[in-house]
Amino acid sequence: MAADSGLGGTPADATRSDEGAARDANVEAPGVPDDAVASRDIGPSSDAESCTSDADPCVVVPNGWTLVAFAPTRSSACPAGFTSAPTDLIEGPTAGAGACACGACSVTTPPTCTAGAVPVHYDNVGTMGAGTCSLVASPGTGPLMNNPPGSCGTDLYQGSYASFDVMYTSPPPSGGACTMPGAPANGGVTYASQDRACTPDNAHAANCSGNACAPIVTGPYRACVMTTGSASCPAGPMSSPHHVGTGVSVSCSACGCAVTASCLGMVTLYADANCRSGPNPVPADDSCNAIYMQQTSYNSYIYTAGPPKNVGCQASGTSSPQGTTLVNEATICCSP
C-alpha cells in the first residue's frame, strides 16, 4: 500500500499575489515543490470562470481540494500523467463476527478459599477398599458445612475413628474478578470497494491552468477531487461522495471471563465438642489419611483455608465488533 501523502493535502501558497500567475497548487502531487509546477503554466487557456459547472471533462478544483484520478477498483495501474503517488484505499468497511478476538485476561481481585463445604470420603481398614477412601460420607457426617467459614463445627462423624481412613477436599475458590478486553483479529472485515487514487504528476500532466483542469483519464479511472477527513462535496458537478481511508480500525467489546484457582486447607479435628482439646490436623488436599492409627474419637472440627494457588482467568464469552473507523480518512467527490 502506498503512503497516504496523497490524501487531500493542499499547499499553503495556493494563491499568488501576481494575478497573472497560475494557481496550480491544488493539483500538485505530494512531494513536488511548489515552484516546480507553478513555473510551467502549460495548461489550457481556460480558467476557473470558463470551466462551467456542467462542462465535461473540465474540472474546477476548489481551494482545499486536490485533483485525483479515482477508481473503485485496484485492477488497473494509474493512468498516464497520474503516476507520482498512487494510494490504495478502502471504502465502506463492515466488521463481521470474526473481526474481534479476546485479548489477555487479567485478575483484578483474587478469589478466596475460605467459604464452602468440605467433602468427606472414607474407607474401612481391613477391607478390600482400605487405603482408597472411596466411600462417600453419609449425610450429617459429610460434607462438613464449614458455616460460618472457619468456625467450630460439629456436623461430622462423632465417635471413634479407630477403623477408618479419611479424605477431606477443600472447597472450590469463590469470588474474585477479572477483565478480558476485546481486540481486533486479522480478517473478518469486508469492504464495499477497494479503491485507488492517483495524484497528477504536475499541472501540465493534468492539463490544468490555475484551478481549472481538463485531464485526460482512461477507464476505470475518473477525474475527481479529494480532501482530508469527512467532508461534504463542493457545489457543482462533483456531487457523488466516496468516504475512504488507507485502512480501518475496529473497536471490539470486552469478553466475559472467569477467575480460576486451586484451594488447599486443613481440617483440625478435636476430641471435645468445642474445638478445644486433642487437636489433630488433617490436610484437606484429596489425600487418603490413615486416621485409624490415632485410635481417637473426634467430636468437632475447624476448617482453615490456605491462600488460593494457581490464580488465573479464562474467557467465558466472545468479543463482538462495536464499530469501525477509517484510518487516514478522506473524502473523494466525483460526478454522478
CA angle 173, 310, 180 (to 5 degrees): 80
What is the grid cell recorded at 200? Answer: 497528477
Same domain, 170 and 29: no
Kindly report the average pLDDT of the chain as a whole number. Answer: 86
Tell me the C-alpha distance between 40 and 267, whole Å.
94
Residues 40, 202 contacting (CB under 8 angstroms): yes
Mean pLDDT split into 10-residue runs, the chain, 336 residues: 36 32 34 30 39 62 96 95 94 94 95 97 95 96 96 97 97 96 93 97 94 94 97 95 97 96 97 97 98 96 97 93 96 96
Q: What is the pLDDT of residue 13?
A: 34
Burial of 44: CB neighbours in 10 Å, binned 0-12, 13-18, 19+:
middle
Same domain, 36 and 88: yes
Residues 220, 75 contacting (CB under 8 angstroms): yes
At 77, the amino acid letter reads A
Q: Is residue 55 part of a domain?
A: yes
Q: Is residue 273 part of a domain?
A: yes
Tell me the C-alpha distance between 266 and 268, whole Å.
6
Q: Is residue 257 part of a domain?
A: no
Q: What is the pLDDT of residue 289?
A: 98
Q: Is residue 157 part of a domain?
A: yes
The number of beta carbons lying within 10 Å of the beta carbon of residue 229 is 12
Same domain, 132 and 281: yes
Looking from the CA of 43 toward its CB, the CA atoms found within 13 Å total 30
Q: Is residue 89 part of a domain?
A: yes
Q: What is the pLDDT of residue 21?
A: 31
Q: What is the pLDDT of residue 51?
A: 61
Same domain, 93 and 32: yes
Tell me the C-alpha distance between 239 and 235, whole Å.
7
Residues 200, 30 contacting (CB under 8 angstroms): no
Same domain, 203 and 285: no
Same domain, 283 and 173: yes
Same domain, 76 and 191: yes
Q: Is residue 49 part of a domain?
A: yes
CA angle 205, 208, 213 (to 5 degrees): 110
Q: What is the pLDDT of residue 206?
A: 94
Tell me the C-alpha distance between 230 and 7, whole Å.
12
DSSP letter at 42?
A: -
Tell me the C-alpha distance between 241 and 231, whole Å.
9
Domain range for 299 is 106-178+265-305
Same domain, 26 and 142: no
Residues 107, 173 contacting (CB under 8 angstroms): no
Same domain, 220 and 269: no
* Strand (E) or helix (H) holding 35: helix 34-38
| Count of structural domains, the chain | 2
What is the grid cell recorded at 225? Answer: 477531487
Q: Is residue 260 part of a domain?
A: no
CA separation, residue 256 to residues 28, 160, 173, 306, 324 (Å) = 52, 49, 18, 28, 22
Q: Is residue 259 part of a domain?
A: no
Same domain, 118 and 174: yes
Q: What is the pLDDT of residue 84?
A: 84
Same domain, 89 and 216: yes
Same domain, 21 and 164: no
What is the grid cell recorded at 104? Answer: 489477555
What is the grid cell recorded at 218? Answer: 482512461
